[in-house]
Structure 1
C-alpha cells in the first residue's frame, strides 16, 4: 500500500495516472503477479543451475537456510517443493536442524503461530552461528549482512553458497571461500529475482498489458539462468572468483555500450 500511495501522490502532481513511477504495488494498481515470491524463486533458479554444475540431484542435496522472511522463508518453501532436502532453517532468534529433512510448510506454520522456532517438536535447536557451519551441500544466508567472516569461513562445509541476503559475506571471507573451492553465487545475482520482477512490473506498466504469473516466472527463470551461465563462463575464462567476475562482467557491458554510443559534445 505504501508504494500505491507514492504512485498516487506522484500521479496527482502529474495530473494523470503514472503507474510505472514505482514498483511493488498491489496487483490491482499496476503491480506484477509473482513479485512477492520473486527473490526466493530467483534463488531457486540459480541454485538449480549450481547443483547441475556439481552433478547433484535435488533429492540428494542438503540445504541450510539462514532466515525465514520474505527471502529465506519463500526460498526454503520453494526448494522443499522442488524436492530439495532442507535440513535447517532459522529466524532472528535461532534455528532448527534435522538431518533427515524438515517439513518446511509445517515449520513455517509453527513459526507463524508461535513467532519462534523454539520447542519445534520435529527438529533440534541450533544457533544462527552454528547453523552456518552445518554439514550441507547448499548454504543460503538470507537474513542479514556480515554473517560469513574470516573467522567462520574456514569452518563452512557447503559446496555452494547462495547469497540470499545483501552482503552476507565479508571481503576477507571471500578469499577463504575461493581457496576452499566453495562455489559462491554472489548476492548481485542470487537475490536479483526481486528487482528483475520489479523491472517486469515497470515493463508491464509501460505496456498497459499484464502477464499471467506463469509467464512472469518463466521470464524470470530465463533471465536468472542466462545470467548464471554468463557469470560462470566469465569466471572460468578469467580465472577469478564469481563475485569478482560479476562486477567485471557488469563493467565490461557498461564500457562496451558507452564506446558504442560515442561521445556527444
Structure 2
C-alpha cells in the first residue's frame, strides 16, 4: 500500500466518524496546486543532467503553506502529495497557522558534489520561486536536505524578491535561523515518549528503547531520552544496525557516527539485521527513518509495548490494525514528529518580527505546544474510545474543516 493510500484511509476513517459529506471529503483531500518542473543543469564533467522536481500545495485554509523539501531517488508525485496532506493535518493538530505542502527532487545526493548540489537547488528555486514565499509557501529541510540547502534557497529566492529570510525555515543560525531548530523534531519525539509513558504509569528510567534511523531525528531523540534515564538498547541506520541489551552509550555513539558515518561496527555492541532491529524486545520502538517499515508481515512479531512514529508514514494500515488487536499503543506521526514544523513556525515568526528568541524560549514554547497537542489528543481518544491516531486525525481534520467552512468556498 502506498503512502497516499495509507493517509487517505486514515482520513476517510476520521471523516466518516465526523459525518463529513462525500463532497466535503473530496474538497479537503484535493490539493490546491501540484507543480512538476524540469530541473536541468550542467554537471562538473560537462554533461547535462535532467531531474524532476515537485511541489504540492495541499490546503491553505488556515494560513500559508508549510512543508519540507526532500532530495531522494524515490521521490514521486504520489509520495509528495501524501506528505503534503499529512502536513495539513499536522499543523492543524499542533494549532499553528499553516496549511500543508511538500516538495522534492528525484536525485541521489550521494552522487552529487557540493557545487552540483548547490546548482541543482538554485535551478529548482528558479522554477518555483513565484509559487513560494513567506505568505505563500515556506519550504524547510527534509530527507536529503539540510540548513545549507535552505541557505541556498533563501539566497536564490532573494535574487528575485529582495531580502526576506522568512521565505524558508531550517536555515543556519548565522542566516536568521532559529536556535533549537535542528534538535526540534527529535526533542519533540523524546518529550512525547515521556508523556505517553507517564500516562501509562510507566517509568522512563531504565525503559528499553529501540530507534530505527539514526540521522537528525534519531540522534536527538536518543540523546534526549538517554539523558533522562532511558536505556537505548538498539539503533540502526542505512548502513547497519547494532544492539546492546545493557544499553548503548549514546553520546559516545554519536561521536563515533560523526567520525565513521554509521553506527555499523560500533564497539560494545553486536550487529543485527535491519529486519531484526524492528523486532527487538523493548518498551518503546521509534521508527525514525523512511516510511512503510512496519507491515502486516512483521507487525505480528514486533515486541514493543509502544510505538512512537518519528518518521512519516512508517506504519501500513494493516500493521496498525494488528497493533491495535495486540494492544500496542501507537503515537501517530502527525503528532509525534510535529516538533520540527513547530520550531519552523517559531523561526518564521522571528523572521517576520526581525527579532531573535534565545534557546530557552524556543525549547519552552516547543514543549508547551507539543504537550498541549498531546493532552488534547489523549483526552479525545479517551472520551471517544478511539486510538491515538484516529483522535489526532479528528482534531486536525476538524480544525481544517471548520476553517474551510468559515472562510467560504
The normalised TM-score by structure 1 is 0.94
Equivalent residue number for residue 149 of structure 2: 2
Residue 285 of structure 2: aligned partner: 139
Structure 1 residue runs without a partner (length 5+): none
2:267 is aligned with 1:88: no
How big is the shift at 1:64? 0.6
Q: Which residue of 2 aligns with 1:157?
A: 303
Asked if 1:226 is matched to 2:377, the reply is: no
Matches for 1:186-265 after TM superposition, within 5 Å: 186-259=332-405, 261=406, 263=408
Q: Which runs of 4+ in 1 moved over 6 A?
A: none
Count of matched residue pairs: 262
The whole-number CA distance in structure 2 between the counterparts of 1:175 and 1:256 is: 29
Measured on the aligned residues, the alpha-carbon RMSD in Å equals 1.5
User: CA offset at residue 4 of structure 1?
Assistant: 2.2
The question of 1:71 aligning with 2:71 is answered no
Deviations, residues 56-113 of structure 1 (Å, cap 9, x unaligned): 2221311111111011112111211121111111111221111111101112222333
Q: Does 39-48 or 16-25 show the bigger shift?
A: 16-25
**Aligned-partner Cα distance in 2 for 1:113–1:30:** 28
Q: What CA distance in whole angstroms lies between the structure 2 residues aligned with 1:192 and 1:68?
A: 18
Return the structure number with greater strand share.
2
Partner Cα distance (1:262, 1:10) in 2 = 30
TM-score with structure 2 setting the length: 0.62
Please give the per-residue CA displacement for 1:168-189, whole angstroms capped at 9, x wherever unaligned: 1111111111111111111111
Tell me how far 1:239 sits from its aligned partner.
2.1
Q: 2:313 aligns with which of 167, 176, 189?
A: 167
Higher relative contact order (CA 8 A, sep 6+): 1
Change (3 A) 1:124 1:252: same
1:183-205 CA-to-partner distances (Å, cap 9, x unmatched) read 11111111111111111110111
Distance 1:112 1:8, change over 3 A: closer
Distance in 2 between the 1:262 and 1:86 partners? 47
Distance 2:260 2:151 in 1: 31
Tell me if 1:30 matches 2:176: yes
1:262 shift after superposition: 5.6
- Decide whether aligned partners of structure 1 residues 255 and 132 sit closer, same or farther in structure 2, where only a CA change above 3 A counts: same
Gaps of 5+ in 2: 1-147
| Secondary structure at the counterpart of residue 140 of structure 1 | strand
Look up the match of 1:20.
Answer: 166
**1:45 & 1:214 partners in 2: Cα distance?**
15
Rounded Cα–Cα distance in structure 1 between residues aligned with 2:202 and 2:306: 11
CA deviation profile, 1:188-233 (whole Å, cap 9, x unmatched): 1111111111111101111111100111011101011111111111
